[in-house]
A and B are shown apart, each in its own frame.
Chain A
Amino acid sequence: MHDKAKKHNETTPAARNMHHGRDRPLSQWAQCEKDPEKLAEFRQWAFDTLKRANTGDREALAELAQECSQWPEDILDKFTDLTKIVQAMIFRKMFPDQDGSRLLMQEKVDRLRAALFPAGGDRLEKLLVEVVVMCWAQVHRAELEEVRGQSELSDRPEMLRYLSSCTDRAYRRLLSAARTLAVVRKLTRSNEVGASFSANDPEADCITTVTGK
């Protein structure tokens, strides 16, 4: 493990890019869900780079900034669209044959979205709001399935336990998403978070891009 990490740190960013076959921007990576191997590779790279950047490794930060500069400006909007697609999937599964109920739920979700997303919020905040809304919808769905299961599956305790674990996971996901939104909102309000995903100068020292009070 240690040797592996050392070897990883010794290679250049370009070599690492070659190693991971990352010659395409993230927008394309985000779409490669059908190729789980490549997605796993990208996740591993992202995890390693973020971890190194978090310890203050300037090389990793520069690598991250360079990666960001390659992403299209609307990448967060694309992620937001992806979130909305998953939301629609949840609604379809929640009310497969009841268009009326689905519309009511959609209305409720729109109200929640409007309450959570303030005017002037940035793209990241918008994405995080959509994630919270998606997790909230999944919590509702999981609870609904659990209640339905209690009447339909009383003779299948293992299925009931499974549905209960789904609800627990949905709650954990919602709490995590809400916490992330709160943190980002707090930090962006106290300090304008200056780095953007469309930074055109990857060589610039990204740490100095913070513009605060």
Chain B
Amino acid sequence: MAWEYRGKHGPYYYRSRRVGGRVVKEYLGRGEAAHWAAMMDLWDKQQRQQQTDRHRQRKAEEKALEDQLDNVCHLARLATWTQLLLSGYHNHKGEWRKRRNARQSKETQ
């Protein structure tokens, strides 16, 4: 959206929009209607910008919460792995198995 000069004359208000991948300009003149249209377009633009900022903030908040969740899940996984490994298990392709020498030492006890 812009006020544009055409030679010596102007400024004239043009409203741009994209139609089928091409930019099409709509002439609105320089009268009172053009001023109103410019104000409306500016207001719309500000609204869109505010909405984009809100969404960006929402995404950032969501990411922060997910990071916290992942941190806690990671700590829990760490504790689980530590406890199971120290208990004589090992993870074989996602499956927890008792280590062979752990079984032997148990049998000899």
**What is the interface of chain A, defined by CB distance below 8 A to chain B?**
30, 33, 39, 43, 46, 50, 53-56, 61, 64-65, 67-68, 75-76, 79, 82-83, 86, 89-90, 93, 124, 127-128, 131, 134-135, 138, 145, 153, 156, 159, 162, 166, 169, 173, 176-177, 180, 183-184, 187, 191, 193-197, 199, 206-212
Please state if B72 and A86 are interface contacts (CB–CB under 8 Å).
yes
Interface segment, B2-10, B18-26, B29-37, B73-81? B73-81
B71 to chain A, nearest CB (A): 7
For the complex of A and B, 7 pairs with smallest distance between CB atoms: A195-B86, A210-B88, A193-B87, A206-B86, A131-B76, A195-B87, A53-B85
A169 to B88, CA, bound (A): 32
How would you classify the secondary structure of chain A's contact residues: helix, strand, loop or mixed?
Answer: helix
Which of chain A's residues have a CB closer than 8 A to the CB of B106? 208, 210-212
**What is the interface of chain B, defined by CB distance below 8 A to chain A?**
51, 55, 59, 61-62, 65-66, 68-91, 96, 98-99, 101-102, 105-106, 109
Q: Which of B70, B72, B86, B98 contacts A191 (CB 8 A)?
A: B98
Please state if A76 and B72 are interface contacts (CB–CB under 8 Å).
no
A209 to B77, CA, bound (A): 21
A119 to B85, CA, bound (A): 25
Which of chain B's residues have a CB closer than 8 A to the CB of A199? 86
The chain B residue with its CB closest to the CB of A131 is B76
Interchain Cβ contacts under 8 Å between A and B, 25 examples: A33-B71, A50-B81, A54-B91, A55-B90, A61-B85, A68-B86, A79-B75, A79-B76, A86-B65, A90-B65, A124-B80, A124-B83, A127-B76, A153-B55, A162-B59, A173-B70, A173-B73, A180-B80, A187-B89, A195-B87, A197-B83, A206-B88, A208-B105, A208-B109, A212-B106
Which of chain A's residues have a CB closer than 8 A to the CB of B51? 156
How would you classify the secondary structure of chain B's contact residues: helix, strand, loop or mixed?
Answer: helix
Please state if A176 and B105 are interface contacts (CB–CB under 8 Å).
no
Please state if A64 and B82 are interface contacts (CB–CB under 8 Å).
yes
Q: Which of B75, B82, B102 contacts A210 (CB 8 A)?
A: B102
A162 to B60, CA, bound (A): 12
